[in-house]
Amino acid sequence: MYVTVRFGDCRSELFNPNCRIISLLKNIRDRCSCFEAEEVDLSDENGNVKYLRETPYKFASEILTERENLVLLRVDKNESYVSYSPLLMDNDAITEEFLARLAIKDEDDGSIDIKRMKPTKKNSSEKINKSDREKSVNKLRMTKSITSIVRSKSRQGKTT
């Protein structure tokens, strides 16, 4: 059994969900070049958030279905709500409908707020504009560079 996680500039990785959610999310963060402190979650291709972070010791295979295609999300916490931003730069997958389904979840009572996440698009079309996409790609590249530098320095420290 496996699931496909899509992220970055139309990239994807296969993951085995036959493990605890906490382990799966850590592996996803590592392999998808996310910062260690960055919280992530997953959604299906329609934008329905899986809310995996809520049950970290449950097996991921209980929530995710076999061969499911998922989108990697960044979790942004505020004092009163949690919002989700896709970490996938794919104009065909990230549409207005997808973004509208990424609901803002109320931290106090756990209910879904009526407000919907507004897209960060500057034009009225359903596609993410090119400058926003380039910024996201550059941020992902910088993250990869920093991650590789940190890993190489930690390896050097272990060998000496």
Q: What is the pLDDT along the chain (160 residues), one digit of tens a residue?
A: 899 999 999 899 999 999 999 999 999 999 998 887 889 999 999 989 999 999 999 999 999 999 999 999 999 888 878 888 999 998 888 888 888 887 655 444 455 443 444 344 334 443 444 555 555 555 555 555 555 555 555 555 544 4
Taking residue 121's Cβ as centre, other Cβ atoms within 10 Å add up to 15
**Residue written as token pair 């790609």:** 137
Computed on alpha carbons and rounded to an integer, the radius of gyration of the chain in Å comes to: 16
Q: Which domain holds residue 94?
A: 3-159
- The residue among 92, 37, 47, 36 whose CA lies nearest residue 72 is 47
Contact 61/100 with Cβ under 8 angstroms?
no
In this prediction the pTM is 0.65
**Residue written as token pair 């879904």:** 112
Separation CA 160–CA 74 (nearest Å):
36
Q: Copy the structure tokens of residue 145.
A: 């560079």
Provide the terminal-to-terminal Cα distance of the chain, rounded to the nearest Å: 40
Give the count of domains, the chain. Answer: 1
Taking residue 60's Cβ as centre, other Cβ atoms within 10 Å add up to 24
